[in-house]
Amino acid sequence: MDRSARARGCAAALAGAVVLAGCSGKSENAGRAGNAGPASVRTSAPVSGAGSDLQQQYVKVVDAVLPSVVKIQTDQGEGSGVVFDAQGDIVTNAHVVAGAKKIQVTSSGGGSPANASMVGAFAADDLAVIKVGGVSLKPASWGESGKAQVGQIVLAMGNPLGLSGSVTNGIVSALHRTVSTKGEGAFQGSTIADAIQTSADINPGNSGGALVTLDGQVIGIPTAAASDPQIGAAAPGIGFATPSDTVKRIVPQLIESGKVSNSGRAALGVVVRTIVDPQTGRRSAVAVVEVEKGGGAAKAGIRPGDLILSVNGVATPDQTALTTVLADLRPGQTVKVELQRPDGSKKQVQVTLGQLPGG
């Protein structure tokens, strides 16, 4: 989220770039252009051919899907949501509604805001579900993100900068990205595995909206946009979406119980904190604060006070690095964990990963 144009946001890192969650604290208020004098109007014959066919497909997809994309306003800021089912359940990003005491939903077609209640959130994947009653909303059609292809045309639908029902276009730029966002306020941060990278513009307020194929299928939830750390400004054409396959696994659990019992995410079974060198300010490792009884770490002999230097051969200088490594692993896998004991000695242990709890 661009800090100059939002009420809340999440900083993140991906391959050295700063990734910003697309929430907005701005209201819908675009400036008017100055009055112009009389303009000449030229007419021409309708354009036909491949370009015209593509344009008509864009129009068709927007007409079909945009009614399923809503504007979310909270006492913390603004964002977007996608209608999940006919019972009024709406998917959004966890950071959009984290800590909110009041949530209201407005359809893309406008009208009066409807009050919404929190159903549940799973911060690890930056997903949340809210619910509205007494309002007729059209559920979206959810596709399979696992079938997405690089180069595939997509549209991003949401409410950037508070501008309801906005649509941008682009392509799937890359697949299987791992994107970590830092916590802010009531949001603890997330690490999204298998994120879809897209060139479709994702701006503050797009968070929680829809990334849609030309078949009208939602394959992702726009979550973050990148910025260039060297200039501190947005990096055009680099955005990330939580994949629909993750949405379809997590959201039904939130709807059923408000919690996630089957996250599909790997966990060591420890509570950790980042160690910072007081002399250099550099992060060097993560220290184990607590060990879950009966978990993988406990069975491998990891103890409070140990430093975790690497997992599966990847250095873990901080909690974000550790979470990123684990996001690409699965429960049940056995991995090597390099430790440093309080006495300075180093040791490698084999840990069978458990499942990250949620809710």
Q: Which residues are catalytic?
A: 95, 126, 207
**Helix ranges restricted to H, the chain:** 50-65, 94-97, 244-257, 296-299, 319-327
Burial class, 208, CB count within 10 angstroms (exposed 0-12 / middle 13-18 / buried 19+): buried
Closest CA to 211 of 243, 247, 165: 243
- Other Cβ atoms closer than 10 A to 280: 8
DSSP string computed for 227-293: EETTTTEEEEEEEEEEEHHHHHHHHHHHHHHSSBS----EE-SEEEEEEE-TTT--EEEEEEEEE-T
CA-based angle 252:258:262, to the nearest 5? 55
Whole-angstrom Cα Rg for the chain: 22
**Helix ranges restricted to H, 154-243:** none
At residue 55, what are phi and psi to the nearest 5 degrees?
-60, -45
β partners of residue 127: 122
> In the chain, what is the greatest distance between 2 CA atoms, to the nearest angstrom?
82
